[in-house]
Amino acid sequence: MINLYATQIESISLHRVGNKNKGEGVFLSSEPFALNDETTGLLKEYFFKPFREKEENYFKFSDEVDLEFNEIYNIVSEVFNEPGSAHANSKKIANYLFEQSNHPHIKSGEVYIAYLTDLLLDNKKVNAIGVFKSELKHDFLQFQENENNLDILVQQGININKLDKGCLIFNTEKEDGFKILSVDSNRYDTKYWLENFLGVEPLSDDNFKTKNYLKFCQNFAKDVVLPAEDKQQEVLFMNRAVNHFAKNDAFEETNFLNEVMGNPELIPEFKNYKVEKGPKYSIEDVSNFDIANKAVSDARKKIKNVINLDTNIQIKLDFINPESAEKFVEKGWDEERQMYYYLVYFNKEQKS
C-alpha cells in the first residue's frame, strides 16, 4: 500500500517525444526543470492523483532472457545508484521511449522524469523514479483586456486533472525487477507503454493473488453456480467468498471451499474449472497465500449483490451478512401464475 502525501520531487526533467513513424523528432532539455512552490504543488497533484484513485496492481521489469537486457531497468538502476545522474539518464529514457513510438496510433507528448523521495510503500520509506507522459491537448480560453474590450484568446494545453500515462518505479526488490505501479488513461496503445517501453509483467504478490483469485471466483459463480443453481445462489456464493477473504489473514483453498460452497457437489466442478480457467488468472498453481486486505476491499466494491427481475424489481442482498439472505429470502414457483417468486421475511421496515 502506498502513501504519497509526504513525497518530495527532488529533481525533474522535461522532454518532448514525437511519433517516429510520422517523422516527428525528440526534444531533449539541456537542464533539469527549475521547480518552485507553485509548479511543485500542481505537478504533484497531476502526477500522483491517478495512483491514489487506482487499484494497486504492481508490475516488475522482465526480459525473456535476463533482466540485464531490459533497457529501462538498467537506466533506473543507475539513477538509484547515483541520483546525481538523473537528468543525464532522463535523456536516455526519453530517447528509448521515442524509439518505441513508431506505431501510427501513438501520440506525441511531453515526458516528465522525476526523482522522488519519502514515498511510503507498505509503511516503509523508499525513493522512486516517476516517468509521466502527457499526450492529449485540450482547447481552453484566456481573456485579455484590450482598451475598452475584453478579448478571447483560444489556446491549447494539457488537462492537469487527467494524467495520460505514468509509472512509479520504487527502489525496492531490485533483484526481482523492482516494484512498479503504472497508469494509462488511453487504452488504445497499452502494449506500447507496458510492454514495448517499460518491459514489465505483473508482480505475483499477495495483492495480485488475492485480486485474481476473487476474479476467478466471480467468473466461476457466473459460469457454474448460476446455471446449476440460480441468481440468488450466485450472489450468495460471492458474498461468502468475499467474507471469507475479509475475515482471514491467510488463504487455504480446502478450508475456503468447505466454508463457502453452499452445494458440496460443486466442489469438483470448482476444481475442474480451475484447471481450465486458472491459467487465465495466473492462479492455476495457487492454493495458499497471505490475503491482501485492500484487494478484498476493492473487490467488494465491484461485485454486484443485486438480483434484477424481469418485472422491474430489484432485490439487493446484504454483502456483510449473507446469512440474512439465506434465512429470510425464499424462492418458489407459483403454479397459478406460472411465475417464479421470492418470499422475503421481516419484522418491520427500516427507516431510510
Written as one string, the DSSP assignment of 260-274 is H-SSGGGHHHHHHHH
What is the dihedral sign for C-alpha 168, 170, 173, 175? positive
Cell digits of residue 224: 457454474
313 by DSSP, 3-state: which? coil
Give the cell for residue 335: 403454479
Angle at 201 between CA 197 and CA 204, to 5 degrees: 155
Dihedral of the alpha carbons of 198, 199, 204, 209, in degrees to the nearest 10: 70
pLDDT (0 to 100) of residue 273: 95
Return the half-sphere exposure (C-beta side, CA atoms, 13 A cut-off) of residue 346. Answer: 6
Regions of the chain with pLDDT less than 70: 187-190, 318-325, 352
What is residue 32's predicted lDDT score, i.e. its pLDDT? 95
| b/e map 191-213, b = 16+ CB within 10 Å | ebbbebbbbbeebebebbbbbbb
What does the pLDDT look like over 252-293, one tens digit per residue?
999 999 999 988 899 999 999 999 999 999 999 889 999 988
Contact residues for 7 (Cβ-Cβ < 8 A; gap 6+): 44, 48, 116, 117, 118, 119
Whether 170 and 179 have beta carbons less than 8 Å apart is answered as yes
Could you give the maximum distance between any two Cα atoms of the chain, in Å?
Answer: 84
In tens, the pLDDT along 5-16 reads: 999 999 999 999
Task: Give the separation between CA 298 and CA 318, rounded to whole angstroms.
Answer: 17
What is the residue type of 309?
A: L
Phi, psi of 291 (to 5 degrees): -80, 130
Q: Among residues 242, 201, 237, which one has the least CA distance to residue 325?
A: 237
pLDDT score, position 319: 55
SS3 state at 207: helix
User: Which pLDDT belongs to residue 318?
Assistant: 65
Question: Do the Cβ atoms of 266 and 228 come closer than 8 Å?
Answer: yes
Q: Tell me what pLDDT residue 157 has.
A: 82
* Residue 188 confidence (pLDDT): 67
pLDDT at 49: 93
Question: To the nearest 5 percent, what fractions of the chain are helix, strand and coil?
Answer: 45, 30, 30
